[in-house]
Amino acid sequence: MDINALYSEWLEKAVVDPDIKAELESISGNYDEILDRFYRSLEFGTAGLRGIIGAGTNRMNYYTVCRATQGLSDFLNKHFDAPSIAIGYDSRIKSDYFSMEAAKVLAANGIKVYLYKELQPTPCLSFAIRHFKTSSGIILTASHNPAKYNGYKCYNSNGYQMTDEEAAETYEFIKNVDYFTGIKTMDFDEAVKDGLIEYMGDEVIDAFLDEVIKQCVNPDAVKTAGLKVIYTPLNGTGNKPVRKILEKIGVNEVYVVPEQEMPDGNFPTCPFPNPEIKQAFEYALKMADKIQPDLLLATDPDCDRVGIAVRNGEGGYKLMSGNEVGAMLLNYLLSQKSKKGQLSENSIAVKSFVSTDLAEVIAKKYNCTFKNLLTGFKYIGELITQLEAEGRADDFVMGFEESYGYLAGTHARDKDAVVASMLICEMAAYYKTLGKSLAEVMDSIYDEFGYYFNTVASYTFEGASGMEKMAGIMDGLRKSTPKSFADMPVTVVDDYKTSVSTVTAHGKTDKIELPKSNVLAYTLVDGNKIIVRPSGTEPKIKAYITAIGNDKETAQKIADKLLADADKLMK
């Protein structure tokens, strides 16, 4: 590949978006900057596209988005007689522009487009796919990444992200599309006039919220608790739907962080708009000094994930982990549904297999079937779709991932911070009527089931050499299985790439009934665990640690030893 020739071609032909030409002209003669933009094309996978906004094949721009859309159009026209698609977008820079350009390409290929008329959460896109029974869906978002990123996520007709097979076939179509001569497009207004592009009305969002509110378990508790909430949408899509659903269930004291209320893809007060990190709560915590709320809520820009901070009993606020919120929500839903006789004999809850095992112990108490699935909410979406096909949709209690993603109900096939925000507030209100804070509730769960300390260590390996290093680490672990971690013997090794589970004491093996994935899990004595997994979207290997003790101090000591041994593996 001649990088300079590719750069010159783009400089000459990339004329649709003036920002592209201006950026290319600004890096003239700077080979390193040119190389970074053109050394590869953004790859299309099950997470679609994601990259820095800018000029070049390795950036999110008009041409990379429209090329992907042309490839998707070819895929849809191959598999559907009269394909249709739903499109949504968030507050990120150029998300609205990319959504309209994508709609024009799809329309030019004869595909009917349902387009949200304003930014909406990712779960609303999943809902719209099922509402209109479309063949596919697109959401323009980069979730919680910094402002310089954008992304393009594709969904199938079931409302969850494309499967590996669907994404691989679509990518083959994309690779055959020339950036400048292979993209079909048409005038937007003409496509609307011809009925090829149709704006979705408010009734779609109303229908979504109607489904969300059905997940309430104790609506009366909300109305009497006097719950006080500070909410920040982090300049994203959650502002309207989250506030509307909280109003519907009777949470009347919701204070929104003014600096983070309105959509703004620059995220001026939260450069990392990620509810997993405390910095995202900085402005909410400042407000808390005066308002003294029971609860702080933060949803990420596309409102599929939510984080919370709760009173810690010492006058301050504690940021709860995704594992803690998932376990607490599951315990709340199971206990209340059981008490009200709403729990079916075949109820089922689910989580990603890297999330806390505490959830499984809680489910067992209520005779609820529990499943562990691969990381990626599409696998939870697949399970819900299977249950629905079997006439068992009502058996689904909830699913979650440790990365702050939760879903109750079957209205969407992706994580949903709207329904999660509603249930978290309902749960807080219910326990408030009993004189308990959520921090106290979590402590009581630990007292009953043991202290599960979950943490994640990320190891970054930059560049081409980094990818080789990551592959070498995983190969080395497969060739030479660690005998112990933190002086605790490994009792079971699960290799999700070979689908083999091995009991180390006698070498007996079982088949893992999950799709293949490049993941290794080591179970130790007393349920302690290390899971090693390369990231699918970043040059990182992650080590997921589970340490179990009778109390926090004991579990923390075990976790520290496990982390020290994990560090040694990554050298």
Active-site residue list: 143
Strand partners, 116: 200
Query: 486 and 499 in contact (C-beta within 8 Å)?
Result: no
Helix (H, G, I), strand (E, B), or coil: what is residue 387?
A: helix
Q: Is 181 exposed, middle or buried (0-12, 13-18, 19+ CB in 10 A)?
A: exposed
- The pair phi, psi for residue 565, each rounded to 5°, is -70, -35
- The pair phi, psi for residue 143, each rounded to 5°, is 55, -115
Query: 199 and 113 in contact (C-beta within 8 Å)?
Result: no
Tell me how far the alpha carbon of residue 380 is from its chain's centroid. 12
Tell me the pairing of strands 451-460 and 348-352: unpaired
- Residues with Cβ within 8 Å of 566's Cβ and at least 6 positions away in sequence, in order, are 457, 485, 530, 532, 543, 545
Strand partners, 396: 348
* Alpha carbon distance 434, 414 (integer Å): 32
What single-letter amino acid sits at 118?
E
Tell me the pairing of strands 295-299 and 228-232: parallel
* Alpha carbon distance 299, 303 (integer Å): 5
Residue recorded with tokens 């919701």: 254
